[in-house]
Chain A
Amino acid sequence: MTAYDPARRPRVAVLCSFNVDLVHGPLSEALAARGLPSELYFSGYGQWESDLHNSASELYRFGPQVVVVYPDLRDVVPAFGSTVPSKHEAEAAGAEAASALGQGIETFLSRAPGATVLCTGLTVPPVNALGLLEGNAGYSWRSAANAFNAHIQDLSEGQGRLFFLDIEPVIQRVGWTAWNDSRLWCIGRMRLARDAYPHLAAFWARAIRAMLTPRRKCLVLDLDNTLWGGVVGEDGLDGIQLGHSGAGLAFLEFQRAVKTLPARGVLLAVCSKNNRDDALEVFRAHPSMVLEASDFTAMEIGWDDKATGLRRIADRVGIGLDSLVFWDDSPVERALVRRALPEVLVPEVPEDPALHAEFLHGLEAFDTLTLTREDIRRSAMYREEAQRKTVRAAMAEGPPEAFYRACGIEMTVVRADDFSLPRLSQMVMKTNQFNMSTKRYSTAEIAAFMRAPDIDVHALRVSDRFGDLGIVGMAIVRRDTSPWLLDTFLLSCRALGRTIEHGFLGFLSRRATSAGAGLRALYIPTARNAPVKRFLDELGLEPVPAGGETFHVTIPSGLVAIPSWLTLTIEE
């Protein structure tokens, strides 16, 4: 996905099947209000599709980062309005229109590698020739829109630079009579009513921001009058409002809404002023609690001020204050946090708790157009790491081997493939500490190594009884030299401190030895990779200067044993 460069104003092109020029002002304002003042381009009327195909068009000259496409059913399926087709004919017409537009989008994306397309979906005008026949007797215009939208969604799944925008909920909220203005079609080929433009602009700006800027990663919640009604320290466990009617139901619905966030990659935390035991008792013992203590990555419950609690949460979770959203019912607490920590987003929570669930779902701060496997696992990984720390602390007296054994660590070495490539590329670019040569290869270079006959690219997956850490290690071995050269050897910091580096190097050394080749590693010291130096010292390995800043480290056969507490599986 295209990253946002704050030094450059985003260039946004709008391609619409009708005249939508009046959205220019509202869209400029909506983008600026989201911190993204942009350059805008609008295709001429009737040119929206040919713009995509014609590389000499104004669109290509404009060089957009974002192209918003907005087709209207009445324009892309001209039979709408003058025919009464069967459901199957309508479906075919929708699919055909999507296929034609899809070809244009793919042509454009292949020629404009820096651009991303946001394609707005089709909707069916509610007043049309079918009337009550919609969905009956084998007739349905809605099936045309569904077929069109499904085709664009399919295309977007295989194409990382195309996203689908579902505009139906926006129109539902505004209402069709406030959205559509048939008079303007007759006089100026416009379709939208005056009141539609700000809503359309906000909708597009929201998507563009989600695409260009990182979202917030953690919701920090107050407890009293936020997760339940009342004050547990005063009202007691039985006195708080939480249940299946009245105000209690409002808080229950809010908890249900909060519960969906971790599945969208958003972490949860608590920052509240309570006696810790009172608060935890609610989680343990209240029959209507939807949220469990284990849903939260961090809990700051005590009597410190909230800004201090929020700082601790950011530290503990390892994210910036600008990744936090703070939710508190008290206007006083909200104002204090806004003043002390302007980076934290503090939404103006509605006073009525019955509105909280919908307000939370409507927050743009957690918007994203994609979810990676790592996003979805984020909350679970933090929880698993906390469990490891707890077990480690409990076993602090004994030898570390006892803890490693208790973890039941399983290492799996797999040959790099297209599925692991994005993660490997991410590690090559980001890993600083345990990275022996810190060579920054591009994705294309790594892909080329994977295909080379005399180069091995190994990916290391690790899991233990607490959970799956995913791919955390990588090695590039050149077999075109003798001994073999370990060009890249790196481990993600979340895998450090449990002898996995010994196991991984032991595997590589054993493999080279059994091929009769031996192994030599490339070592380039940097300001950041001191853990590598400690690892080499621990093994008694002496780096030998190899010109410039580079060193070679010969790994004597049999020196690095695979620790007995590690289970190694090779799937190559």
Chain B
Amino acid sequence: MSDKLLYETVARVLRVPLETIDIDSSPETIARWDSMAQVALMLEVESVFSVRLHSDSLMALNSVRKIRDALVHLGALPEAP
């Protein structure tokens, strides 16, 4: 499991080029990242990283950085990139 896998997941779900994704990507920087895309992204992240998120997190994890922090917290990603 790596940051690259997370970036690829975000790019695939939002249907944007991988190069446009960085740690600060969020609905502010990607127009396609609306509330439906947020839910679809969370479900995909759960599946790819084999984790289960709290319902509060499903809407709250609305940037790549927040998703990464949550995955680190859950032990699904290493702390250092």
Contacts and interface: CB of A to CB of B under 8 A. Distances in A.
A194 B47 contact: yes
Nearest to B39: A188
Contacts of B58: 183-184, 187
Contacts of B59: 187
Contact of A186 (B35, B46, B47, B55): B55
Interface in B12-29: none
Interface string A19-33: 001100000000000
B40 interface: yes
Given A194-B43, A194-B46, A194-B47, A22 B55 contact: no
A22 B46 contact: no
Contacts of A194: 43-44, 46-47
A205 B40 CA distance: 22
Contacts of A477: none
A22 B40 contact: yes
Interface range for B: 10 to 19
Contacts, number: 23
A190 interface: yes
Contacts of B55: 183, 186-187
A183 B46 CA distance: 13
Contacts of A22: 36, 39-40
B73 to A, nearest CB: 18
Nearest to B60: A187
B14 to A, nearest CB: 13
Interface string B39-58: 11001101100000011001
B29 to A, nearest CB: 22
A520 to B, nearest CB: 71
Contacts of A184: 39, 58
A190 B59 CA distance: 13
A22 B37 CA distance: 9
Q: Which of A22, A187, A188, A193 has the most CB of B within 10 A?
A: A187
A120 to B, nearest CB: 22
Nearest to A190: B39
Given A183-B55, A183-B58, A188 B46 contact: no
The bracket for how many chain A residues form the interface is 10 to 19
Nearest to A181: B43
Contacts of B36: 21-22, 188
A104 B55 CA distance: 35
A188 B37 CA distance: 12
Contacts of B46: 194
Interface in A326-381: none
Interface in A148-203: 183-184, 186-188, 190, 193-194
Contact of A188 (B35, B44, B47, B54): B35
B34 to A, nearest CB: 11
Nearest to A21: B36
Nearest to B56: A187
Contacts of B54: 183
B62 to A, nearest CB: 12
A183 B39 CA distance: 11
Interface string A207-222: 0000000000000000
Contacts of A188: 35-36, 39
A355 B42 CA distance: 37
A193 B36 CA distance: 14
A181 to B, nearest CB: 8
Contacts of A21: 36
B27 to A, nearest CB: 15
A21 B43 CA distance: 14
Most buried by A among B43, B44, B46, B58: B43
A22 B58 CA distance: 15
Nearest to A183: B55
Contacts of A186: 55
Contacts of A187: 39, 55, 58-59
Nearest to B44: A194
Nearest to B59: A187
Nearest to A185: B55
A43 B35 CA distance: 17
Interface string A497-514: 000000000000000000
Contacts of B47: 194
B74 to A, nearest CB: 16
A3 to B, nearest CB: 35
A473 B35 CA distance: 63
Nearest to A184: B39
A193 B58 CA distance: 13
Most chain A CB atoms below 10 A, which of B39, B46, B47, B59: B39
A184 B41 CA distance: 13
A493 to B, nearest CB: 55
A190 B43 CA distance: 12
B10 to A, nearest CB: 16
A273 B44 CA distance: 50
A186 B54 CA distance: 11
B13 to A, nearest CB: 10
Interface string B53-80: 0110011000000000000000000000
Contacts of A190: 39
Nearest to B53: A183
A177 to B, nearest CB: 12
A184 B46 CA distance: 13
A193 B46 CA distance: 11
Nearest to A22: B40
Closest 10 CB pairs of A and B: A183-B55, A194-B43, A187-B58, A187-B59, A186-B55, A188-B39, A21-B36, A187-B55, A22-B40, A183-B58
8 contacts: A21-B36, A22-B40, A183-B58, A184-B39, A187-B59, A190-B39, A193-B43, A194-B46
Given A22-B39, A194-B46, 15 more contacts: A22-B36, A22-B40, A183-B54, A183-B55, A183-B58, A184-B58, A186-B55, A187-B39, A187-B55, A187-B59, A188-B35, A188-B36, A188-B39, A190-B39, A194-B47
